[in-house]
Amino acid sequence: MGRIRLQEMTMRIIDITRTVEPNMPVWPGDPPVVIERLCNIEEHDCNVSSLCAGLHTGTHIDAPWHYVKEGKKASELDLSRFYGICKVFEIRKEGHIQKEDIKDLDIEQGDIVLFKTENSYIRNEKAFRENYCGLAPDAALELAEKRIKTVGVDYLSVEPFGGNGDVHRILLKNDIAVIEGLDLFEAKPGRYLLSALPLKIEDVDGSPVRAVLIEI
């Protein structure tokens, strides 16, 4: 966390990005994170490192092309989907988020919505968990009907493990941006300014982001 000063106002920045590091959980079948020191300052006057990881590692966005054949790729996305006023809702329950859990929340057309669940309370876990909390299809349909702009979740997928891609397709085909792998442990329910901009990488289906919330 840090602080910025703007127009004589001090605002708290909450880092909601998971640290990219070796042995962190990745989606089954995705490459593990490998960080290698190529040059060191003692021998080469500078440090230079390389990173090998899947684009859906840690905190990242899914481009529509991830599940939609003619969907936009990461470099083509509207950046306003990943920057703006957002609403954080906390839903702590067993199982996945259902329509019944969200239908009466203050969610309106054009909102950026982040869901904080039990996932955010599991700290420093190295193994992938299959029983994480995701969005059930009826919840995804409810968000599509509300015509939100963006949804963010606090595990590696918005969709429950073993899903057939329907949750992703419901969201992405309805022009709802998807942010996955958030760490919302420090974020209380409420309104914030979100910044979670994807990297401008050509011809790819996702991108890591450095996601932060700014108290407003």
What is the DSSP code (8-state) at residue 80?
G
Residues contacting residue 214 through CB under 8 Å, at least 6 positions apart:
4, 11, 12, 13, 14, 192, 193, 194, 195
Residues of the chain by 3-state class (helix, strand, coil), percent to 5: 20, 30, 50
66 among known catalytic residues: yes
CA 117, 118, 124, 129 dihedral sign is negative
| 60, 66, 96, 168: the active-site residue | 66
Residues contacting residue 170 through CB under 8 Å, at least 6 positions apart:
137, 140, 141, 144
Q: CA gyration radius for the chain?
A: 18
Looking at the annotation, which residues are catalytic?
Answer: 66
